[in-house]
Structure 1
Amino acid sequence: MFISDFAIKRPLVTVVAMVALVVFGLVALFKLKTDEFPEVVPPYASVGLIYPGASPEGVEKEVLNPVEEQITAISGVKTVMGKAYDGYASIIIEFNFGTNMSDATQEIRDKISAIRADLPAEMKEPVITKLNDTDRPIVSLALTSTNLSQADLTRLADPKITRELRSLSGVAEVQVFGKVERELTVELQPDRLQAAGVSVGQVVQALQAQNLAAPVGRVTGALDERSIRLKGRLEGPQDFMQMVVAERNGQLIRLGQVAQVRDGTEEPRSLAHYNDGEAVGNDNKKSPGYSTTDVSDRVRAKVKDLQKGLPEGTQIVLVKDSGTRVTAAVTNVKEALLEGALLTVLVVFLFLNSWRSTVITGLALPVSVLASFIMVWVLGFKLETMSLLGLSLAIGILIDDAIVVRENIVRHVEMGKDHMRAAHEGTDEIGLAVAATTFTILAVFVPIGFIPVI
């Protein structure tokens, strides 16, 4: 065959080419990103519709049905499944395979916006997300303390810690669970309201009008321009109690005269526990295209830095780390690959009983594997379990072909031919059969790539 004949006649070129493949393969191997599974985007999207206080029947009639009608009209939609709950509706949309999910979600958003005026005003903005099997938290953290209250932990976790984590490259989203938000409660005293002649509406209007911060204009100088901003955001109970809610006979009536203001927390909507104690949970999701292990390493390094600035008795605990699991999974496949290669070389030595044949077959293995990493890197794939399993299958085929070709060359040498002639004739004699065997195996696996659905 042409390739084998050229390699035999030009050994120097062949050796240089093999060394170059090994060098570039090693460079590509160290540049490859590591992940557990390949990123597959299934053609599914979900829509969450929040309608506070409505019954399931009301949610279905006023929100779910109109939105489903709009979504069904979108091109490429295969099935639409909606469910109505108490104050909430969920819609799962399946698109035809191959649909661009970014365009699909934008079209869903446009369709809902087109009928937004017909939907109840109390309905919150719809939450539209693309469903993705790999869109799971890769690092989960727990913020615990023996000295701080749950409210203090919440203020420490969000926004301080979450802001630091969101700034990391590759972190797409940081979710906080078990947090207790601060809430100022205004308890109106009916008898005091009646005595002062103040209505509940006046109190509400005063709270809305006076507790704000907004731009009110600008001042233009000779060389610059400065903005004027009203700093009216109140901070604590004492500030609210001094708020003026009405005026009667020239007397200012303040909120503290008709109500009690307490600094507390809102009713918790989620709960996080760690080692039988309350904590604030933190889930970190990675952005598409980033390596799980790389993002995990960045999060752990940032947590280590944040730990130094936490109050005494407070710590950030690593609850789950997918980066460690991914590294272990890929390492296991690598070890199995290496063990299989060593056993293959041992089998070659035992059956051919020739150290020369063993060395030749053993060299073909790393050269071919490292060369394959070049294409893996160029085509943008990652080093994950699926690609490594495919590589292990290819190694088996490679060793089979190498053993068959080498054994046939040895047979020609035993017939009394010199090594050059034996290599030429042995390869030409068996080369077409070996190529046909490899192409037959490819013919079995190639159609899998044309399966239209997952």
Structure 2
Amino acid sequence: MKLADFSIKHPAIITIILLALVFFGVLSFRSISQSLFPDIGLPSIIVFTAYPGVSPKDIEREVTDPLEKELSTMPGVQRITSSSRNSVSFITVEMDWDTNLDMKIGELREKINGAMGNLPEGIQGVPMLFKMEANAMPIYSVSVLSDIERQTLTRFAEDEIAPVLSRIGGVAEVNVHGAPPQIVDIKVHLNQIESKGISVLDIFQLLKSNNVSLPAGSVVFQNQSLNIRTAAEFSSISEIEQMVIGYRDTSFIRLKDVAEVSLREKRAETETISNGEDVIIVDVYKQPKSDTNTIIIEAKKVIDTFSRDYPGILSFKIVADQTADIKLAINSVKNAAITGGILAVAVLLLFLLSFRTTIIIAISIPLSLLLAFIGMRLKGQSFNLMTLGGLTVAIGMIVDNS
């Protein structure tokens, strides 16, 4: 039995199916997330290695080449490109498009661990891995302005504002930047260390050995294995000043006795300026498949709360907000689709001169879109420039096929 014959003989069943299609289509439409661009995971991983004080040529010979040789044996690798610069090595590993990057990072880590024996001892820690993602731009950025000193303001943003924003559902990461990093400045009095029989190299080695965090094994407690670390990192200038560097005449020699220790700002390579003022920027990044609009609405509520709690002390200004771009893009595509659908129906009516045929085609357009919304919801797709553009093209194809 043909579908047309079945539909004519069983109108009640067809009506129920159409009503169910409309019901679930509307539900799907209301629950589909919105974003400016689709979630596309680029199949690339960056391997970053720091080797301070080494020239680009030595970086390439001692770090980049051994890692490239080891990583090239991995299955699924399409291409490896590298860049060796002063003190750092960047290696980009491009995978097949159907590669699961989360699984590949584990394999890459094993390969890097296998190559560690061929790397120089002077590299900083273990090479770091970063996934290249299409959504590597913030969906919401806000500047924080205050008369408070910038370093203090940065710590407040990192300790108070960022954790609250991070707890919003769908937020992947919150970054705070703007203030130049601080470094510890130690000015050693050479005449004093010479008189006490201490060298600058001794002080350097003591600073290095006293500022470490190392694994100390594990213990089993209530059938659970717990890892233990020995934390011996400096947390304040006072701790550095009190560090013992020698012993003479029944008394300890501390660093403050032979040197001046202070904090200073490192020369900034980039500056964050808004309306001619140095500001702190808070960037919010979203997780894949999450709703951009919902995240930004919740983020604005958090910022409004801090504005009310600290009146006259903190002020905020929106730097980037994707909701406006999303609304503009969606409305543009939606208006184009509606206009195109109306014009298509009008042209059909003009040339077919059949009101009944035109009505059938006109009804098929929204029903087909509702069915598409159900499919998008089941597949976890979002409303974005790509999917809305595809729906617009589909409207024309529906008219042609009708």
Task: Give the structure-2-normalised TM-score.
Answer: 0.84
Structure 2: how far apart are the matches of 1:210 and 1:387? 56
Structure 2: how far apart are the matches of 1:239 and 1:43? 45
Tell me the percent identity: 29
| Alignment match, 1:381 | 381
Larger helix share, 1 or 2:
1
Asked which structure has the greater CA Rg, the reply is 1
C-alpha displacement at 1:76, in angstroms? 1.8
RMSD over aligned CA atoms reads 3.2
The answer to whether the 8 A contact 2:44-2:132 is kept is yes
| Alignment match, 1:126 | 127
| Alignment match, 2:82 | 82
The amino acid across from 1:166 in the alignment is S
| Alignment match, 1:399 | 399
| Partner SS for 2:141 | strand
| Alignment match, 2:172 | 172
Q: Deviations over 1:138-178 (max 9, x none)?
A: 22232222x12222222122233222222222222223332
| Alignment match, 2:336 | 336
The answer to whether the 8 A contact 2:289-2:380 is kept is no
Which runs of 5 or more residues in structure 2 are unaligned? Answer: 217-228
241-250 or 319-328: bigger deviation: 241-250
Q: How many residues were matched structurally?
A: 389
Cα separation, partners in 2 of 1:234 and 1:98, compared to 1, 3 Å: closer
| Alignment match, 2:137 | 136
| Alignment match, 2:104 | 104
| Alignment match, 2:220 | none
The amino acid across from 2:43 in the alignment is P
| Alignment match, 1:26 | 26
Structure 1: how far apart are the matches of 2:49 and 2:315? 37
The answer to whether the 8 A contact 1:179-1:270 is kept is no
The amino acid across from 1:341 in the alignment is G
Structure 2: how far apart are the matches of 1:205 and 1:80? 38
The answer to whether the 8 A contact 2:47-2:92 is kept is yes
Task: Give the structure-1-normalised TM-score.
Answer: 0.75
C-alpha displacement at 1:287, in angstroms? 1.6
Structure 1: how far apart are the matches of 2:215 and 2:86? 39
The answer to whether the 8 A contact 2:154-2:177 is kept is no
Structure 1: how far apart are the matches of 2:382 and 2:318? 26
Q: Deviations over 1:96-143 (max 9, x none)?
A: 332332222222221111121321122123222222323322222322
Q: Deviations over 1:421-451 (max 9, x none)?
A: xxxxxxxxxxxxxxxxxxxxxxxxxxxxxxx
Cα separation, partners in 2 of 1:357 and 1:386, compared to 1, 3 Å: same
C-alpha displacement at 1:64, in angstroms? 0.7
| Alignment match, 2:327 | 327
C-alpha displacement at 1:22, in angstroms? 0.8
Cα separation, partners in 2 of 1:310 and 1:197, compared to 1, 3 Å: farther
Cα separation, partners in 2 of 1:204 and 1:56, compared to 1, 3 Å: closer
Cα separation, partners in 2 of 1:41 and 1:247, compared to 1, 3 Å: closer
Cα separation, partners in 2 of 1:235 and 1:104, compared to 1, 3 Å: closer
Structure 1: how far apart are the matches of 2:355 and 2:162? 60
Cα separation, partners in 2 of 1:237 and 1:99, compared to 1, 3 Å: closer
Cα separation, partners in 2 of 1:374 and 1:282, compared to 1, 3 Å: same
The amino acid across from 2:185 in the alignment is T
The answer to whether the 8 A contact 1:31-1:377 is kept is yes
| Alignment match, 2:50 | 50
Q: How does 1:126-275 map to 2 (within 5 A)?
A: 126-145=127-146, 147-200=147-200, 203=203, 237=237, 241=241, 245-275=245-275
The answer to whether the 8 A contact 2:46-2:131 is kept is yes
Structure 2: how far apart are the matches of 1:234 and 1:394? 62
Q: How does 1:275-314 map to 2 (within 5 A)?
A: 275-310=275-310, 312-314=312-314
54-63 or 386-395: bigger deviation: 386-395
Cα separation, partners in 2 of 1:121 and 1:205, compared to 1, 3 Å: closer
Q: Deviations over 1:9-66 (max 9, x none)?
A: 2333322322221111101111111223332233322222221110011001100110
18-27 or 199-208: bigger deviation: 199-208
The answer to whether the 8 A contact 2:33-2:289 is kept is no
Structure 2: how far apart are the matches of 1:167 and 1:17? 42
Q: Deviations over 1:294-317 (max 9, x none)?
A: 333333332222333447343232
152-161 or 345-354: bigger deviation: 345-354
The amino acid across from 2:135 in the alignment is T
